[in-house]
Amino acid sequence: MSSRPGKTAPRLLQDLLTYDPRYEERAGRNLLTTSPPQFDPKGPPARAVPGRNCRHVFMTKNEQSVLPKAGEDPDHQTVYKIASFCKQCRWHVDLLVDFRDDGSKAEPCRTGTDYIMHHFVYQDEDPPHNDTLSRQKVPCTYRFSCSAPKCPVELKIRMTPPRFTDDDFSLLTNTQILRKRLETARQVGGDRADAQIARPVDALDYLNTYLGDALNPQKGKNRIPLLNRKFLKTFGKDCDKLLRRLGFTFNEEIQDDGSVIEVYYLPNPPPATSPLDHDTQRNLIEDARYELNVFILEIPENERTGARHPGILPHPSSTDLQRALGCLDYEKKSGMTRAQVQASHEEDHPYYAGLGTVGDFADSLLLYAFSRQGYVDSANSSYYFECLQDIAKGRKSEALELQVAMLASKGFYNRQDIDLAYRYLSLDPQYSLHLSDDIIIDQFRARLQDIGPSAVEETRNMLRVIGCARQSERIIQEASDAIETYEQALSWLGLTADQPDDFVVTMYSLKVSDNAADRATANRAVEKIAEQRGSQRLRDYLKNGVLGDTEMDTAEAYALLSISNRAVKLDLDMLHTQMQSFADSNPTSKEKYERAFELVRKDQQENPKQSDNGESDVPAPDYPLDTWPVGCKNIGNTCYLNSVLQFLFTIKPLRDMVVNCDDHLQETTPEALKNKRVGRETVTQEKVKEAQEFVQELRELFQQMITASTYTVRPKENLAALALAKASATSLQSTSNSTAEAGLGNIGDVPIIGPMPNPTATDNSLHGPVRGDSDVKTIGSDTSSTVAEDGDHVMGEDAPTSAGDQGVAKPEPPSRPPPIPPRPQASGVADSAMKKIEFDASQQDAAEILNNVFDLLSCAFKGEGVLDDGEQLDFIKRLFFSSVTSVTLQKGEELRNKELQNNHLVSPNKRDRPLYAALDDEFSKTEVDENTSQKNAEEGTSTGKEKTLRYAFMEDASPIQIINVRRLIFEDNKPKKDDSHLQLTPEIFFDRYMKETTSRSETKLAALREQQWGLQSQLKGMESRKAQLTDTELKSALPEVVEEGAEMIEDINKTASDQLVDVDDPGLLPAYPDLAEHMRLQANHLQKEIEVLLQQMKDIDQQINSLWTGCEDNPYRLHAVFMHRGSATGGHYWIYIHDFQQCIWRKYNDERVSKVENIDEIFKQEEKYPATSTGIVYVREDALTKLTEAVCREPEVQPEDRMEIDGVELQVINGVPDS
């Protein structure tokens, strides 16, 4: 839906006939593309069309037109073009009506169908115009489309200024200029010059002849000597610019006798082509001739005697335009015709223009236009109803008034009705756009408490009017006193979705105690909440008046049944036997065990699990094995590691180096390691051996990912331990000292729960920590979100899971073991090793894991040389590390520090913004505080501080750029995730962050940066003001605080008015009856200021981007996006990777690898509980296929993948014998 009003074809045509680009600024709007301001009956009358505007009389240019034929209906290949010009102002108009469709739209509007007339909605101006000072001199094309759902018609209207200006006309016809031209001719031509002055009509007539000869060239008539008597006195040399603009060319010719003569050659336009082709010089000449005819007709007839061209004009365009737009014979009301109205310059009532109609429309067409306007611009449907209502009264049409009454009964209201409804609820309609549904509903509920039963229905009717006007189902439902949805139930009880059942009961009790008549409604609300949540406790409360025990979740159910691994596929029959054994041992808990079994059974059926042999129960993708990447099973709380491994696998040089590592491994002799430095540290033999062990494990995984005959592989625990281990950590074999009771640590005193590896035995003990299937990350750094997500609460489907929801109460242990066969116990070493892996994963973020992997690879492989700082140069440095120079400006001195960086760390800054804006913050000039005296710091005395400026740029940009996003923020010493959207683009240019580029020197880039920093300084001021308005000590935005203050004052005033007070009491507070209203007005102003600030900040971001237009020497393409869904205490990671060979995106979500069907899930953000990017990877455009390869598969043929047919053994590929 366009969210802007439209115009019926007759209205658009009428506006075209009065639209004059020359006076658009005076009109204050574009009369053609916009609708008039909403009519105010109480305001002074105003003309819709400025008096100076030309009332066009268009004449058809046949040779440039494709005209509709009478009685012929258009088909799906029809395109009409009416090329015309106004005989009064000489502006040219091309109206192109395109009926061609794409298959989905094949039913044009026409009489006899549901859509009886075209209703056009303005789309865009093509090309965009940005020269407001010379708009009257620039051609503009306006695009419209018909709003009917199956109508294919696209309309283009091109306005072109006259080919001749008024100065041109004066140059050709002014008598004084012609007299001077004659004197010049006598000086140049001598005796050859004509004795008589040229007439004003002569230049127009001769030029018309020349241009006609140019369109129909004849041999010998293509040149005009300058000394030609008629030409010399009529045009001379002072018309040179005009002639050249028309295509004439000037030349000097050498005659046989050696003399030189000056000549003009006629224009040489191309042959005539289809009118639908682009304009050529031929169109220019044709337009010029039409205008010359207009000029000739303006000269008195007695002064143009003898002219070759008497000034004949073509036929008017009116009928052609109406026929092309399908409005030649529309149904009209009786009275004055449209032509008579136009001729008298009489304007229709503004209400007709509001509906996009004209005054001679029949009633049925007015109703049709009303329905179309309401469809495309529903936000203003009340105004359109008011227009229709007033027109019906003015026409005194019983049929139309009946239709208006029927519409009113269906919930249509005019603006006066809506204003009255707002004022009835003590709300100012002037600020209705700034009022949320919650504010209106709260005001309504407050009003209900202050009125008697007789006024309740009227108050509800007023709220219903507001709800219909805003098209708010919430308000309409509130007005009807109906509770039909979960959201309505929460709203009625004053609850939010994340509040527990206990609070539901509390609010229920308060509602019922305040008004016993609300009990039935309160019961319905609790029933709806219980139904949505599946809460047996709430159902029991409604039935018995008592709230039962806390409801069991899935993690608790698994723990109660002694199942430590939720990822494994279970035998439900055996599980049922085990459940019955537990219930027999504890009869009082039988219902609890049965509930646990149902939860586990449901989870097993709805969520894919792994079988005992480790194979996933996930359905295989619909792609051949050799064309699709494999997924990586989650071996613990390591979903981010899986994303890193998948990303590394797609980097072709890295993958090839790892797979063929034997030829490149570092020697471990002391001599070989003498000068080896990685990460600014000397590399030891132990570190090299550990790194090479990691490479061997990584090679094994990569080979599995290449050759696996399945759709998933399982990384080894040792690989995860080595990848996640910090510098002081050892390999998996050294982790056996961890105890089984260590758990996974805590977040805010709440134990972290997560999946364990597939065990070889079932753990029957219920005294250890209960484990779920969440992916966990503790708060260890500020570079990404810290997350811990319980698998039962998938982020995005329900409210975010808080840390407190993840603690699981230990159930009562059974008195005897379940009757299942004994199995070998899992080794304590493996169990504690997995805990060590999960602990390491919980202490690191995205950047740290990648840095650790990069260091391991650099340690494991031979170096290619030594960098300036002694660091080893190797393939990791070449692929991922950029040379970044940090420039510090202090006391007039400039200090430069160069270092290698493998990533850029950016922050959304708690607002949606483009990636460019976030990167700009990291590289731009900023103020930092530096201690001015190191001595004072060492002595512990007060240190003075001075302003220091710092910025950065890249001298050499790596071909692979990694951008990490800082999502974790702290508010009141509590972690919080910044969910702001970082807007990504498929392509990015790093020129603005470079020292110099191919096309711009360091000086030029520095000048652009200075301009950018000036804009960013404004942006920081706006951010500071925004923080004042949105970050208050009350944790609410300032407008909300002021609004709540107004409500509090109203409550105080109400209480005071209900009580008897001693007016002589000196301690009595003064009364300010208007204070609450003033505060509400101020709250609205503050809210508007916030909205304006946000828009201005977006505008500055766009201005900064525009500075760098054309800086495109360093293009990079988006290759991968690391994603996270969850909160600061819980969540899940996955990665999107672009396959540049197949031009598709894939989503790698642990063992699932799927094609991204809608890329909006990558580039756009959901409104509720959105997934957010935590890492972004761009690859240099000229090295895409060289550096990346998403699919590298050579599946091995398993023995069972061969079969014999007629004695011939065939290989079976994807279930099909391959001959």
pLDDT tens sequence across 269-302 = 999 999 999 889 999 999 999 999 999 999 998 8
The enclosing H or E element of 1152 equals strand 1152-1155
- Report the pLDDT value the prediction gives residue 61, as an integer from 0 to 100: 96
Find out whether 58 and 321 touch, Cβ atoms under 8 Å. Answer: yes
Confidence of residue 968 (pLDDT cuts 50, 70, 90): confident
CA of 940: how far to CAs of 415, 852, 928, 929, 1183, in Å?
70, 36, 21, 18, 54
SS3 for 20-50 is CHHHHHHHCCCCCCCCCCCCCCCCCCCCCCC
When pLDDT is cut at 50, 70 and 90, the band that residue 780 belongs to is very low
Given pLDDT bands bounded at 50, 70 and 90, which one contains residue 533? confident
Beta bridge partners of 1134: 1123
DSSP secondary structure of 169-211: HHHHH-HHHHHHHHHHHHHHHGGGS-SSPPPHHHHHHHHHHHH
- Range in 467-481, 508-522, 822-836, 1016-1030 the model is least confident about: 822-836
Average pLDDT score over residue span 915-943: 65
Q: What is the pLDDT of residues 1063-1082, one digit of tens each?
A: 455 555 556 677 888 888 88
Instruction: Kindly state the average pLDDT of the residues 218-222.
Output: 84
Residue 1134 has pLDDT above 60, yes or no: yes
Sequence-separated (6 or more) residues with CB below 8 Å from residue 1069: none
> What single string gives the DSSP state of each residue in 717-767?
HHHHHHHH--TT---GGG-TTS-GGGTT-EETTEE--------SS----SS
Stretch among 735-749, 894-908, 910-924 having the lowest mean pLDDT: 735-749
For residue range 689-745, list pLDDT tens digits in order: 999 999 999 999 999 999 999 999 999 988 888 888 754 443 333 333 333 333 333
Mean pLDDT over the full length of the chain: 80
Give the residue-averaged pLDDT of 1123-1129: 76
pLDDT at 490 over 90: no
Mean pLDDT of 650-674: 93
- What type of residue sits at position 343? A
Q: If 0-12 CB within 10 Å is exposed, 13-18 middle and 19+ buried, where does residue 994 land?
A: buried
Burial class for 297, CB neighbours closer than 10 Å (0-12, 13-18, 19+): middle
Task: Return the ∠ at Cα 792 (arms to 788 and 798), rounded to 5°.
Answer: 90
From 394-398, 851-855, 1034-1038, 1190-1194, the region with the lowest mean pLDDT: 1034-1038
Q: How does strand 904-906 pair with strand 960-965?
A: parallel
Q: Which range has the worst mean pLDDT, 67-71, 650-654, 763-767, 1166-1170?
A: 763-767
Domain with CATH 3.90.70.10 in the chain: 882-933+946-1000+1111-1187
CA distances from 345 to 50, 54, 341, 602 (A): 11, 11, 6, 75
Residue 835: pLDDT band (50, 70, 90) is low
At what angle are helices 828-842 and 717-724 packed, to 10 degrees? 40
Give the single-character DSSP code of 803: G
Distance (Å, rounded) from C-alpha 510 to C-alpha 529? 17
Tell me, which fold does domain 882-933+946-1000+1111-1187 have in CATH?
Cathepsin B; Chain A (3.90.70)
The band of 955, judged by pLDDT with boundaries at 50, 70 and 90, is very high
| Residue range 17-51, pLDDT digits in tens | 999 998 887 777 889 998 888 888 888 877 878 88
Pairing of strands 926-931, 945-956: antiparallel
Average pLDDT over residues 122-128: 77
User: How big is the CA angle at 380 (ends 1093 and 20), to the nearest 5 degrees?
Assistant: 85
pLDDT of 676 strictly over 70: yes
- Return the higher-pLDDT residue of 68 and 753: 68
In this model, does residue 826 exceed pLDDT 60?
no
Which helix (H) or strand (E) is 322 found in, with range?
A: helix 318-324
Mean pLDDT of the region 1098-1107? 82
What pLDDT does residue 385 have?
Answer: 93
DSSP conformation class of 304: S
Q: How far apart are the first and last CA of the chain?
A: 54
Given a cut of 50, whether residue 89 has pLDDT beyond it is yes
Question: Which of 651-660, 886-895, 1009-1018 shows the lowest mean pLDDT across its residues?
Answer: 1009-1018
What's the rounded Cα separation, in Å, for the pair 321 and 328? 8
